[in-house]
Each structure stands twice: as C-alpha cells, then as structure tokens.
Amino acid sequence: MRVGVLTGGGDCPGLNAVIRGAVRKGVQEYAYEFVGYRDGWRGPLENDTVPLGIPAVRGILPRGGTILGSSRTNPLKAENGIRRIKDNLAKAEVDALIVIGGEDTLGVAARLHDEYGVNCVGVPKTIDNDLSATDYTFGFDTAVGIATEAIDRLHTTAESHMRVLVVEVMGRHAGWIALHSGLAGGANVILIPEQRFDVSQVCEWVTSRFRATYAPIVVVAEGAAPQDGDAVLKDGSLDSFGHVRLSGVGEWLANEIERRTGKEARTTVLGHVQRGGTPSAFDRWLATRFGLHAIDAVRDGDFGRMVALKGTDIVRVPIAEATAKLKTVDPELYAEVGVFFG
Ligand code: F6P
C-alpha cells in the first residue's frame, strides 16, 4: 500500500504531529510506503512529491508549520484538475490519500471521494476550531494559549498608561479564539463574528470598567462587525492570491472608542503569531491521535471519512459532515460570558 499525505489551507500547530503519527504507525505496523505531496492540492495536481518515511518525520513533533508546505490551491477550479489528480496518483502508484485540512481542503477531499472515487481520509485542522463534527481541531489550543498570554501582558501596559487596549485575534467566521482567550485572559469585552456589536454599548462597557488603577481590555475577532458598519470594515476586495482581505476591525474600533469616550486607545493585532511556533501539549496529543487513527482508516479501507474527536474518543464521520456547515459560537454560550461586561 502506498499512501499520499498532503496539508492544505492555513498552516496550524500540530500538522507535523499528524504526519508523524500516520507515517510511524503506517511504516512500523503495516509496512506501508508514503509519498508526501507538496503545498496542499498543488502537489497531486502537479505531481510535486517529496520522500516521506521515518527519517523525514524524525524530530518534527514539536515543530510548527508543516514539513510538506501548504497552499489554498483548489483543484476543482483548475483546468482538468480532477483528471490530472487521478492520473498523477496512478503514476505515483498511490492507493490512498490522507488529506489534512480545513473546510476548503476537506471539501475538495469529500467531492473527490464521493463523486470521483478517490480514496481519501480526512483529518480536521484549523486554529479557528470552526469545523463541525469534531469537538476540537488541533491548533486551536495553541492559538488560544498565545492570545491569552498576549492579553495577560496587555493588562499591565493598559494599566500603566490608563489606556483601552483592543486586541484583534483571528477568527474570520467564528469567535472561538476570541471567546476562549478573552475569558482566560480576563478581557472586559469580547466581540465575535456571530453577533454584530453595538459600538455605543461597547463604549459604555469600556467607560464603566475604568477604575483609578484599571483600564479595560477589548478582545475582538477579526471577522466581528458593528451593527451598521459592514461597508466600513469589509470591502470584499481580494489580494493578489485571491484571498478576501479583512480590513482591520481592531484599529477601527480603537479609533471609535477614543473618539466617543475620550479615553486613549491602542490596538494590537496578533495575526499570524497565533499560527506559528510549537504546538501545545494538548495539540500534540490530539494531532498524534488523529494521525494514528487516520492510518487505521486507510488500513480498514474506510474512505470518504474524517477522524474526529468526540469527548475523549476518536471516531470517524463522513468528510462531508464536517464541511457542510461551520461550527459557530452558540448565542447562549456567548451570553454566559457577557456577565463580565459592563
Ligand atoms: O483559518 C485560519 C485563519 O488563520 C483564519 O483565522 C484567518 O482569517 C485566515 O486563516 C488567514 O489566512 P491567510 O494566512 O491566508 O491570510
């Protein structure tokens, strides 16, 4: 059996741990051979491969990023994309593909399997934790840890200058990172994409939290938007790689707070720091288990399925179940946190 492995979409701490788990078990227990595909779906599309075996996965457990590289290439949009992938897999004598990715990458895997008979097993990945059908994705815990540490640090500088500090965290469609890091870091206001915010209300909360020696922290997810300010925040323009640009809700909000409350405000945009570097112990644990279970799914011929965390068990679900609908923050959960505002 020859197994191809690819990592697609935004990088995420724990990708290397998945690769290592699958390769080690595949080689040592099942005597499988592996082929690494470079840069997500671009690899099988262009037959760009790298050797993948025990030597390649040695020492990569604590390393961030992905040894295979990543991209957001979508073969369904490429000319003869499906045919080229099928031909290239046949040429490389690859019998099955382990596809590690988020909504877009896995969406392609689901279609390749369901409509074109390619043997794919999916592994869910995103720091945003917004994939359905799994309780958690690896990378999320690391991102929350990084954001929480940043918030802790910002508390002391906010207090020293009596400034409002607005911290913009990742989360284009879902506010999981904002919610978890905001709660863990003792933020005074948390704003998420799932619920439009009222700027006047935010300013009231900010004003009411000022004490003689305390200045508030506002955590805002990059995809959050004010009730009436859509056009201000998202112009929908694409960068040169075709990705939608998000235009700085944190900076916009800090300016509004300063203008409306008269309190000095600053913004920190955490950006890709949240995706880089070594994975947390939890993410290494989860990613390794995903890798071990993914190779077992290959052994069982259980294709079109994705490994997922349910409670403490790793289960298999149809890949399409994970990509059909994003997992967003439940309004009740968000309301629960609101007790700390104001
Ligand atoms: O999906 C993960 C994520 O980090 C989002 O939180 C963020 O909006 C997006 O990727 C950024 O993508 P890129 O690295 O392509 O700018």
How many domains is the chain built from?
2
State whether 267 and 195 are in the same domain.
yes
Q: Is 172 in the pocket of ligand 1 (CB under 6 A)?
A: yes
Residue 153, CA distances (Å) to 4, 156, 185 in order: 43, 6, 9
Select from 122, 120, 98 the least CA-distant residue to 5. 98
- Region 123-145: mean pLDDT is 97
Select from 14, 19, 58, 6 the least CA-distant residue to 277. 14
State whether 304 and 193 are in the same domain.
no
State whether 265 and 299 are in the same domain.
no
Q: Distance between alpha carbon 218 and the CA centroid of its chain, in Å?
A: 22
Which residue has better confidence, 265 or 245?
265
> How far apart are the CA of 10 and the centre of ligand 1, in A?
6
CA-atom Rg of the chain in angstroms? 22
Select from 45, 35, 38 the least CA-distant residue to 77. 45
End of a domain among 248, 275, 302? Answer: 275
The pLDDT of residue 211 is above 80: yes
CATH number at residue 223: 3.40.50.460
Distance CA 154, CA 254 (A): 14
> How far apart are the CA of 271 and the centre of ligand 1, in A?
8
- Region 287-304: mean pLDDT is 98
State whether 12 and 133 are in the same domain.
yes
Indicate which atom in ligand 1 lies nearest the CA of residue 223: 8
Indicate which atom in ligand 1 lies nearest the CA of residue 177: 6
Specify the amino acid at residue 271. Answer: G
- Region 251-262: mean pLDDT is 95
SS3 of 68, please? coil
Q: Is 271 annotated as a binding residue?
A: no
State whether 308 and 181 are in the same domain.
no
In this structure, the residue with its CA closest to atom 8 of ligand 1 is: 172
Q: Is 274 in the pocket of ligand 1 (CB under 6 A)?
A: no
> How far apart are the CA of 25 and the centre of ligand 1, in A?
31
The pLDDT of residue 314 is above 50: yes
- Region 318-326: mean pLDDT is 94
Specify if 335 maps to a domain: no
Q: Which of 70, 144, 169, 170 has most ligand 1 atoms within 8 Å of its beta carbon, as the pocket-test mutant?
A: 170
Which residue has better confidence, 138 or 243?
138
pLDDT tens digits for range 15-67: 999 999 999 999 999 999 999 999 999 999 999 999 999 999 999 999 999 99
Q: Is 113 in the pocket of ligand 1 (CB under 6 A)?
A: no
Indicate which atom in ligand 1 lies nearest the CA of residue 246: 8
ipTM of this complex prediction, to 2 decimal places: 0.96
> How far apart are the CA of 171 and the centre of ligand 1, in A?
8
Specify if 339 maps to a domain: no
> Which positions are catalytic?
128
Specify if 109 maps to a domain: yes
State whether 18 and 134 are in the same domain.
yes
Name the band, by pLDDT with cuts 50, 70 and 90, for residue 339: confident
Position 342 scores a pLDDT of: 74
State whether 166 and 207 are in the same domain.
yes
CATH number at residue 97: 3.40.50.450
The residue to which tokens 């112009």 are assigned: 235
Q: Is 10 in the pocket of ligand 1 (CB under 6 A)?
A: yes
Position 213 scores a pLDDT of: 83
Q: Is 171 in the pocket of ligand 1 (CB under 6 A)?
A: yes
Specify if 328 maps to a domain: no
State whether 159 and 113 are in the same domain.
no
pLDDT tens digits for range 4-13: 999 999 999 9
Of the chain, the percentage scoring pLDDT greater than 90 comes to: 89
pTM of the model: 0.94
Distance CA 230, CA 245 (A): 13
Specify if 327 maps to a domain: no
In this structure, the residue with its CA closest to atom 10 of ligand 1 is: 10
With beta carbons less than 8 A apart as the criterion, state whether 181 and 147 touch: yes
Name the band, by pLDDT with cuts 50, 70 and 90, for residue 340: confident
State whether 169 and 197 are in the same domain.
yes
Residue 141, CA distances (Å) to 12, 61, 62, 169, 205 in order: 11, 16, 14, 14, 28
Specify if 132 maps to a domain: yes
State whether 263 and 149 are in the same domain.
yes
End of a domain among 275, 307, 332? Answer: 275
State whether 118 and 150 are in the same domain.
no
Specify if 149 maps to a domain: yes
> How far apart are the CA of 65 and the centre of ligand 1, in A?
14
With beta carbons less than 8 A apart as the criterion, state whether 106 and 13 touch: no
Specify if 341 maps to a domain: no
Position 231 scores a pLDDT of: 45
Q: Is 126 in the pocket of ligand 1 (CB under 6 A)?
A: yes
Domain range for 221: 142-275
State whether 152 and 249 are in the same domain.
yes
Distance CA 89, CA 196 (A): 45
Q: Is 293 annotated as a binding residue?
A: no
Q: Is 224 in the pocket of ligand 1 (CB under 6 A)?
A: no
Query: Of 157-171, 226-240, 254-268, 301-315, which range is least confident?
Result: 226-240
Measure CA of the first residue to CA of the last residue in the chain; give whole Å. 60
In this structure, the residue with its CA closest to atom 14 of ligand 1 is: 10
With beta carbons less than 8 A apart as the criterion, state whether 282 and 140 touch: no
With beta carbons less than 8 A apart as the criterion, state whether 94 and 4 touch: yes
Side-chain-side CA neighbours of residue 185 (13 Å) = 33
Mean pLDDT of the chain: 94
